[in-house]
Amino acid sequence: MKILVTGCNGQLGREIINQLESKKTKGEPIELLKCDKESLDISNFEDVYTYILEKKPEVIINCAAFTNVDLSEEKVDLAYKINALGSKNLAIASEKVKSKLVYISTDYVFKGDKKTPYREDDTTNPTNIYGKSKFLGEQYTKDFCSRYFIIRTAWLYGDGNNFVKTMLRLSESKKEINVVDDQVGSPTSTKELAVCVLNLINTEYYGTYHGTNNGFCSWYEFAKKIFEIKNIDVKVNPITSDKFPSKVNRPSYSVLDNFMLKLIDLDNFKHWEEALEEYLR
């Protein structure tokens, strides 16, 4: 199977490539194409179309994204260029060569005002530029490609910059840390998400899915658990979001229910605490 991974240097891209390389060493017939923003600008239609028609991948896993939520409010054009237009270009080229397309989306496509986990068919209503640009990317993926897997995820951590590493770094110089306690979601391991992606591409169960670790917590509870697992003595203070002034309206509740994965018996995700412990140990 010939697989193209865009955004190969991001947290999820790295993990997917690691798992695919592992499968190759075990004898699975995989040809891997790795692209970062320097080798393939997904916002350039001619580049994308030429590359994909030449390489003819059977699967395209699009991990490329503009994920800086705060900066998206300032660099609106760039956020849409990568998250929406780039996704459209890949979808058009993917359909031309009849490849399967994976689009990684986000919990931010929801407003975040529910009190129960969001299912795939719940009404979307993004309230910031990042969420809006990613949602448009979803729409383009559906409109221009017939063999797609849209996977919404949240609070990712893996090999790269993330909340877990930020907390550990802060603990090296601080004995007391303030963390918001009024935003709730599901911390998700890139290892678990990569397994989900690689399971889905071996099926024809096309559609939209939610893929996060099970259970949920606030950022404050997430931080407390990190330090507990690592046995680090740091005082964590719960504070409200208004103590961190921001231009971005973030969802206060963005827990996702892996409902559709459960229906097809492909919900491989562990509880978030178990996955976090595995990551840290």
Residues tagged active-site: 130
Q: How confident is the model at residue 276 (pLDDT cuts 50, 70, 90)?
A: very high
* Residue 246: pLDDT over 90: no
**Cross-strand pairs, 239:** 180
Which residue is it, tokens 């939610």? 210
Q: How confident is the model at residue 29 (pLDDT cuts 50, 70, 90)?
A: very high
Q: How confident is the model at residue 245 (pLDDT cuts 50, 70, 90)?
A: confident
Per-residue pLDDT, 247: 82
- Distance from the Cα of residue 222 to its chain's centroid: 18
Q: Where are the alpha helices (DSSP H) in 99-247?
A: 129-144, 163-171, 190-200, 219-230
Across the range 224-242, mean pLDDT stands at 96
Contact 97, 57 (CB under 8 A): yes
Per-residue pLDDT, 73: 96
Across the range 148-166, mean pLDDT stands at 97
Instruction: State the average pLDDT for the chain.
Output: 97
What CA–CA distance (Å, rounded) separates 9 from 38?
11
Across the range 105-113, mean pLDDT stands at 97
Per-residue pLDDT, 67: 95
Across the range 33-37, mean pLDDT stands at 96
Q: Supply 110's token pair.
A: 């929801």
pTM of the model: 0.96
* Residue 16: pLDDT over 90: yes
Across the range 10-17, mean pLDDT stands at 98
For the chain, how many helices (H) and strands (E)? 11, 12
What CA–CA distance (Å, rounded) separates 105 from 125?
14
Across the range 28-38, mean pLDDT stands at 95
Across the range 45-65, mean pLDDT stands at 98
**Cross-strand pairs, 6:** 35, 62
* Residue 244: pLDDT over 90: no
Share of the chain above pLDDT 90, in %: 97
